[in-house]
Copies of this chain bind each other. A is one copy, B any other.
Amino acid sequence: LGLQRAAPPNLTANVLVQKLASFGELTADDEAAWAQAAADTRRLGSKQMIVAEGDAPGCAHAIVEGFACRYKLLPDGGRQILDFLVPGDLCDGHALFLAEMDHNIATLSECLVAFIPHKTLLSLTEAHPRIARALWWSSLVQESIAREWIANVGRRSADQRIAHLLSELCFRLHLVGLAHHGQYHLPIRQMDLADATGLSVVHTNRVLKKLRQAGLLDLKQNLLTVPNIQRLEEFCGFDRAYLHPHRRAHPLTGMPTHVVQ
């Protein structure tokens, strides 16, 4: 598949830069510095641990290619996925300050992962205030996503849960240019969808069938097709506001103004 080909070296950092820039305007100098910081990349196989609960890693990780997720394991063996990590996402920016990780991060497909030493991250934020602000903004969006997930799992019907989750992913993939005419390369199993929405695999399967028959989406063999994204979003009440896509100037902190899309 064309989607799976490795990006040329000088394009490797492109997704990371594109994503960070979506959180705040950067100068060419900022972008170069960010790309440089993430130069150390490694390829990981599917279902490999990136950071484990209890770890206090010495470097941050960002996804360049492939899909990963955060998750917790419960005493009874259950798994709850807390977020999907798509290309461009910084996995563990907060671990820079917290003593130890309180959840796991693992790949869902083969991934290209950038390793950014905490030392580099710190000096970067000191020398590049715009990068610092973009990272700060990004961490706030992370928090906001987590809150929306609570509402998703807590109060939406099974159909809407799945639809909402996929709507969010579509939007986030759009941000980094990974959408092609309503088609998204989505290397996640139904079991992953189930663990992200708090449903069983069997019921997830049935819901997907129902959504397919309703013509809202089609997910098969790692390819998600959404004929009409607006219809899907209406169906599940998706409102992109929580992803804080358009940034307006703040009277005090002077965050840059810019509208995505």
Contact = CB atoms under 8 A, between A and B. Distances in A.
A171 interface: no
Contacts of A133: 97
Contact of A74 (B151, B197, B248): B151
Contacts of A97: 133, 136-137, 140, 250, 253, 255
Interface stretch (A27-35, A152-160, A182-190): A152-160
Interface residues of A, number: 52
A136 B96 CA distance: 11
A165 B186 CA distance: 34
A260 interface: no
Contact of A244 (B75, B102, B151, B247): B102
Interface stretch (A39-47, A142-150, A202-210, A223-231): A142-150
B198 A72 contact: no
B72 A151 contact: yes
Interface in A77-136: 78-80, 82, 94, 96-100, 102-103, 118-119, 122, 133, 136
Nearest to A253: B97
A136 B250 CA distance: 19
B103 A147 contact: yes
Given A72-B151, A155-B198, A253-B122, A99 B244 contact: yes
Question: Lowest 3 A-B CB distances belong to which pairs?
Answer: A154-B198, A146-B146, A80-B151
Given A82-B150, A94-B143, A154-B197, 13 more contacts: A74-B155, A74-B237, A80-B150, A82-B151, A96-B252, A96-B253, A97-B136, A97-B137, A98-B244, A102-B244, A122-B252, A150-B150, A153-B154
